[in-house]
Amino acid sequence: MPTMMEKLFAKADLADIAVKVASGERLSREDGLRLYRCPDLLLLGYLANIVRERKNADKAFFIYNQHLNYSNICTNLCKFCAFGKERESDQAYEMSIPQIREKIRARLAEPISEIHVVGGIHPDLPYSYYLEMLRAIKEERPGVHIQAFTGVEIAHLAELSGQSVKECLQELQAAGLDSIPGGGAEVFSPRIRQLTCEKKLSGEGWLEVARTAHGLGLRSNATMLYGHIETLEERVDHLLMLRQTQDETGGFLTFIPLAFHPRNTELSTTNPGLSRTSGVEDLRNIAVARLLLDNFDHIKAYWVMIGPKLAQVALSFGADDLDGTIKEELITKMAGGEAEQAMADSELIRLIKEAGRLPVERDTLYEKLTPRA
Ligand code: V47
């Protein structure tokens, strides 16, 4: 006699996918589309949670980190981004190396294990600035892990320095770079890139930087910016390209779905119907990513973009990581993000415990850190 769950999956036409998930079989492109189209969020969550618990049991990770957005001056001016500004804009800024040192020094009393560094594609900061920045951060905070420069920034720095991506990454590594954040991936579809960020490095270019970094032993993250003008097919194809690359290199640490924030973006002016993503959409993207990305160990619910309350719920829909303490992150804020930018580690721990999970403070590479008294 079919069990209650079997009946529910049959009713939602997901019976075959449920069997695949139970046996750990890889899902197809068609399966991914069916999952995205499934109206029953709880069934999606149920399936994603099976994978989440198989990979990470009850653990929910967080990190004590500091974000540093060194400059918002950007030549790409992507239509979904409210952070990037032209040099002439009265909102444009760039931090000098002494200012960066000051930002790091100001938080030396906190047990920060990672500095997350991202900025725009600056038209004229010299290559030496980036090397100096890395060295300065390590001088101010020896031993800290620097996760810096998206694949797009790395490709720009390689060009600026007249080196190959590999040579440039090696030089950045020698100056203090420890891993690469997941930004700049957006949606790999050439159609979406043409419509939203035509000046940006291509999707294939972004993946090539990741492959090169992984070949050097540098780990990196991956993201997808969803909830704007992309189709479900484009989302699934993006996830499958990441899965394919992970099969080749095994170098991705975590996947982070990024919820589009329309305020102050050009995309929202040309598409007035665009609104903030809904909670259902956010959870659905986390669940489908967990199910399709079978070779990724971790899925992050980025609380700055989806809010701490939904990020907490996401721990039952496939996510096993809440990112960290952050404090100041301007990319979401400029686009209308309303979540407080700082979260105490005690608050992250409370959210995780209330979700019935086991809080684990991690370093960037997901090594467990000893709990503090
Ligand atoms: O690449 C830009 C996205 C990214 C908007 O690696 C926007 O752990 C929403 O990648 N609405 C940068 N998103 C941030 C990023 C990130 C964040 C947290 C953790 C990690 C990680 C990476 O932010 C950009 C772009 O995809 N973005 N504008 C916007 N209006």
Q: What confidence category does residue 1 fall into, taking pLDDT thresholds of 50, 70 and 90? A: confident
Q: For ligand 1, atom 5, which residue shows the shortest CA distance?
A: 81
The full DSSP string for 159-184 is HHHTS-HHHHHHHHHHHT--EE-STT
pLDDT at 170 over 70: yes
Neighbours of 132 (CB within 10 A): 14
Expressed in angstroms and rounded, the spacing between residue 257 Cα and the centre of ligand 1 is 9
pLDDT of residue 279: 98
Q: Which atom of ligand 1 is nearest to the CA of 302?
A: 18
CB 145 within 8 A of CB 363: yes
Crossing angle of helices 165-175/151-161, nearest 10°? Answer: 100
Q: Is the pLDDT of residue 113 over 70?
A: yes
CA–centroid distance, 136 to ligand 1, in Å, is 25
Q: Which two tokens mark 155?
A: 């490709």
Evaluate if residue 62 carries a pLDDT over 70.
yes
Please work out whether the CB of residue 337 comes within 6 Å of at least one atom of ligand 1. Answer: no
Entry pTM: 0.97
Mean pLDDT in residue range 341-345: 81
pLDDT of res. 8: 94
Closest atom of ligand 1 to 220 CA is 6
Residue 307 has pLDDT above 80, yes or no: yes
Cβ of 321 less than 6 Å from ligand 1: no
Mean pLDDT of 166-172: 98
Q: Which residues contact 138 (CB under 8 A, 6 or more apart)?
A: 144, 146, 176
Residue 367: exposure state from Cβ atoms within 10 A (0-12, 13-18, ≥19): exposed
Q: For each of the domains in the chain, give its residue range(s) and CATH number, in order of start.
A: 58-361 (3.20.20.70)
State the chain's mean pLDDT as an integer. Answer: 96
Instruction: Say yes or no to pLDDT of 347 above 70.
Output: yes
Task: Give the confidence band of 341 by pLDDT, cuts at 50, 70, 90.
Answer: low
